[in-house]
Amino acid sequence: MRQLGRNGVLLAPAGIWLLVMLVLPLVVVFIFSFGERGAAGGYVPALTLEQYANLPARWTAFKNTLILAPLGTVAALLIAYPLAYYLAVRCSPKWRTTLLILVIVPFWTSILIRSYAWIFILGGRGIPALLAMVGIDDVRLINTPFAVLVGIVYGYLPLMVFPIFVSLDKLDKRLLEASSDLGSTPLRTFWQVTLPLSVPGVATGCMLVFILLMGEFLIPAILGGGKVFFVGNALVDLFLQSRNWAFGSAVAMTLVIIMLVTVTVYMKFISRLGGQRDDISLM
């Protein structure tokens, strides 16, 4: 009984937080999604599936999100893995801390300001002007899906680097020596020893980045010029411009369901890949 009380005390803060900040809002969104828009906007109670029937009107936003979020995750992975590998395995300990701090440094400035910097880099007087100097004319980068992709990979790269770095750093280096002693080439050692053992880090990094990208709205808004819409942008628009809370709630519920399904499938896939390992977790 005392055990129960103590656990209760330990879990209460997080439990209350989750209840008030996650469960209750989700219930509200769920109820609103069956309602109607008020005369001047907002929400009027009703019981209708009309909002869900309207979902195809936001098809492009869902499509953009479902293409660019996985693409951004994979691009971040391809850039982060070699970097994390270098930091954890190849880099001299003397430099490691410095380089790791450099990876975090961008987080000291708001993502808003850093995204604005990309407006100038990708805008007409940035990279396109440099390309024009070598004869490649009329390249337009800003306000395209490419610009959004660059922005999200840039913004979320550190979140991918760290989990992979941690898993590679913990890796028992004697296993690599053993593999080499048994006659494996470095490449084969990588494929058969290093990579499988770093799966937990890769899985965690991908999960973190993917979930955040699915809900992203700031970077598409700034680097997409209001033209490359994510579901997040459609939601901001529905709540803060067209004031259709009922339809906004239906779009939000749909996004939550899509996330739950993709993340569950992903977890199943990763746990099979990792040979039924049970040490795969977020962080």
Rule CB under 8 A: is residue 140 a binding residue for another protein? yes
Rule CB under 8 A: is residue 200 a binding residue for another protein? no
DSSP class of residue 86 equals I
CB 198 within 8 A of CB 171: yes
Rule CB under 8 A: is residue 67 a binding residue for another protein? no
Rule CB under 8 A: is residue 125 a binding residue for another protein? yes
- Other beta carbons within 10 angstroms of residue 184's beta carbon come to 16
Rule CB under 8 A: is residue 193 a binding residue for another protein? no
In this structure, which amino acid lies at residue 266? Y
> Which of 31, 273 has the CB closer to another protein?
31
Rule CB under 8 A: is residue 143 a binding residue for another protein? yes
Question: Considering the complex, what minimum distance in angstroms separates the CB of residue 226 from another protein?
Answer: 4
Question: Considering the complex, what minimum distance in angstroms separates the CB of residue 199 from another protein?
Answer: 37
Our CA angle for 161, 166, 168, nearest 5°, is 95
- With a CB cutoff of 8 Å and minimum separation 6, the contacts of 206 are 73, 77, 160, 266
**Torsion angle of the four alpha carbons 67, 73, 75, 78, in this order, in degrees rounded to the nearest 10:** -150
Question: Binding another protein by CB under 8 A: which of 225, 256, 266, 267?
Answer: 225
* Main-chain phi, psi angles of 6, to 5 degrees: -65, -45
Question: Binding another protein by CB under 8 A: which of 151, 189, 208, 237?
Answer: 237
> Which of 42, 196 has the CB closer to another protein?
42
Q: Which stretch binds another protein (CB under 8 A): 73-81, 95-103, 136-144, 197-205?
A: 136-144
Question: Binding another protein by CB under 8 A: which of 179, 189, 244, 249?
Answer: 244
DSSP class of residue 42 equals B
Number of shown-chain residues binding another protein (CB under 8 A): 31
Rule CB under 8 A: is residue 65 a binding residue for another protein? no
Q: Which stretch binds another protein (CB under 8 A): 45-53, 194-202, 207-215, 223-231?
A: 223-231
**Got the DSSP string for 243-273?**
-BHHHHHHHHHHHHHHHHHHHHHHHHHHHHH
Question: Binding another protein by CB under 8 A: which of 25, 41, 82, 186?
Answer: 41
Strand partners, 44: 36
CB 224 within 8 A of CB 68: no
Rule CB under 8 A: is residue 123 a binding residue for another protein? yes
Rule CB under 8 A: is residue 133 a binding residue for another protein? no
> Which of 156, 247 has the CB closer to another protein?
247
Question: Considering the complex, what minimum distance in angstroms separates the CB of residue 253 from another protein?
Answer: 17
In this structure, which amino acid lies at residue 271? S
CB 219 within 8 A of CB 152: yes
- CA atoms 158, 160, 166, 171: torsion sign: negative
Question: Binding another protein by CB under 8 A: which of 229, 250, 270, 280?
Answer: 229
Helix (H, G, I), strand (E, B) or coil at 228: coil
Rule CB under 8 A: is residue 32 a binding residue for another protein? no
Residues that bind another protein (CB under 8 A): 37, 39-42, 57-58, 60-61, 119, 123-125, 140, 142-143, 225-227, 229, 233-234, 237-244, 247
